[in-house]
Every structure is written in structure tokens, then in C-alpha cells.
Amino acid sequence: MTEAGESSDPTAQARDLPLDSHLHTNLSPDSRVPIDAYAAQALERGIAEICITDHVDFEPGTPAYDFVPFDVRERTVREAAEQWAPQGVAIRFGAEITYDSRHEAAIRDHLRGHAYDFVIGSVHVYEDSPFHASRVAAWVAGRPLAEIVAPYFGEVLGAIRSGLFDTIGHLDFVKRYLMPHVTPADLAAAPELYEPLLEALVATGTALEVNTSGLRQAPRETYPSESVVRRFGVLGGTGLSAGSDAHDERAFASGLEAGYRVALAAGARDLAFRRGGERVVVALPARFRQPARPNEATVPSL
Ligand SMILES: [Zn+2]
Ligand SMILES: [Zn+2]
């Protein structure tokens, strides 16, 4: 296993970073990792703070619907936080809520009555989605790109405009499902498709997540890509989060060094985060404060 800093492998597990803000434990239906396994790695790798963001879904019949009750999730994470705090690992209680416009009222009700430290709003691809493997080829055939991505990006826009979330998870996760019919290069050539999302993020003060799971999945780039994050910075966006979206132990902090560099490319000097009701900024480590190249502008322009 190679380490960040010693390897050009962008998916390497990172060391010495202040935060991994997107992690799934065995309180999610698609992960078997006990929370202590992440905490132990955080201690060993010098990741000062981790946020547990197990899935919370509102579509009946989906795996994360009512998977683990709120009070059990909260108690489990808070107890781990107490246990690990003296050793120097801060553990926050978050959630990754699947945004679905049909369930916006239920999500709003849930968040009114349940206090999280940090809430990610994400759009996922379900069985009935046009992007599901069984029908994506037919969906893409003969359609212009704007129409292809519209069902996904439309829901993402709804998630942003709802104002319910601290950050938007994997903004263009759909690019994983579109491959090979639509490639990351095709999406990169259509930045106008991202513009309404980025403008809405800035207008609502919602953070943008740099999700590094895309580095280890088929797109081989973050969700969203560096150019999209740069554009967010140009539009005045300042709130950024960065998470590995790990569902297994080896993915803990995976690609996070690269993810922080993507955030840096957008002109970020810190990450936005929330601890309980309090909004905080997490400074990027000193090694991110030097431009990667001598002539690189610290504030990018397009
Ligand atoms: Zn997700
Ligand atoms: Zn996730």
C-alpha cells in the first residue's frame, strides 16, 4: 500500500489531514465497517476529524429506508465520539440524506426534529432511474447531453434550492452511471450544464462537496471535477467539504489528498463544516498553502 505524498496514486489513503467528512459505517445498508475501524485509522493516519454520514432515505422499499432508527445511530456515533476524543480523534454525527423532490416535505420534517452535526444532501440512482444499468443505453440513445443529464441535475438543483443541506454530495455522481455512453470529457465540454447548480449553491450558501470516490470508480476524477470546483470558486462559492465516501475500510480517506488539492484549485483556504449548530471553518494544512507551481495564481480565473 502506497501513501499520499510518496506516490502519484490519486486513490492512496491520505495522511495528516484535518477532516474526512463523508463516511459510511455498518449503520448504512451498503457498508459493514464498524465505526471504531474508521476511528482507529483516523488516529493512525493523523486525520483529526471524521464525520459519520450514514444513509438516510425516504423512499419506502429502498435499502436505507428506516434501516437504523435515528436514536440508535445518534447513540452509536456519540458514544464512539466520547471514547475516541481523549485520543485526539473528533467524531461528528452526520447523515447523507437522499434527496428526492417527491419526499422533500418528509426530509424537511425529519431535519426539523432531528439534530445532526452535518447533513449531506445527495441524489442517488435507484432501480427505477433512467440511469440504471438496465436502461441507461436506451436513455442516452439519440438524446442531446442536456436532456440526458436533466433528470439527475434537476433533482440536484431541487436539493440545493431546498436549503435543507449543509453540503451537496457528489454533485455529478450520474457520470459514473453514464459511462461509457457519456464520458467525463463529454461533461467537461458542457460546463453550461453545471452553471445553474453552481449559481444555486452560491445563492443559497450551500457547500459543494469534493467527493473522492470518483477517483476509484470508472470516471477516475472527483465528483465534481476540478474544473467545476474552480468555476464554483470564480462564481463566489466559498463553502467546500471533502470526503472519501468510504463504504469499506480501505477507502477511508482514499484520494483525500487529491481532493484537498481540488479544493485548493478553487481558491479555497479552508473547508466549511458544521459542528452541531455552529458553522466552523477547517483550515487546510500548511502544505496546501503553497501553489503547486511557481506561476500558478492562488485565485483562479477562467
Ligand atoms: Zn451518496
Ligand atoms: Zn455516501
pTM for this one?
A: 0.93
H or E stretch at 241: strand 240-243
pLDDT at residue 41 is higher than 90: yes
Domain annotation for the chain: domains and CATH numbers: 17-288 (3.20.20.140)
**Cα angle 277-281-283, degrees, rounded to a multiple of 5:** 155
Which residues, chain by chain, have CB under 5 Å from ion ligand 1?
Answer: 122
Give the model's pLDDT for residue 5. 47
Calculate how far, in angstroms, residue 86's C-alpha sits from the geometric centre of ligand 1. 30
Q: What are the backbone dihedrals phi and psi of residue 138, each rounded to the nearest 5 degrees, phi first?
A: -65, -35
Answer yes or no: are the C-beta atoms of 284 and 257 closer than 8 Å.
Answer: no
Give the model's pLDDT for residue 276. 80
Average confidence (pLDDT) over 180-209? 97
Give the model's pLDDT for residue 233. 94
Give the model's pLDDT for residue 7. 61
Give the model's pLDDT for residue 278. 87
119-142: pLDDT as tens digits: 999 999 998 899 999 999 999 999
**Ligand nearest, relative to CA of residue 51:** 2
- How far are the Cα atoms of 42, 51, 234 from residue 104, in angstroms, in the given order? 34, 24, 30
**Ligand nearest, relative to CA of residue 20:** 2
Give the model's pLDDT for residue 292. 53
Average confidence (pLDDT) over 39-68? 96
Give the model's pLDDT for residue 266. 82
Calculate how far, in angstroms, residue 52's C-alpha sits from the geometric centre of ligand 2. 10
Calculate how far, in angstroms, residue 298's C-alpha sits from the geometric centre of ligand 2. 30
Considering only the C-alpha atoms of the chain, give the largest distance between any 2 of them, rounded to a whole number of Å.
58
pLDDT band, very low/low/confident/very high, at 301 (cuts 50, 70, 90)? very low
**Ligand nearest, relative to CA of residue 54:** 2
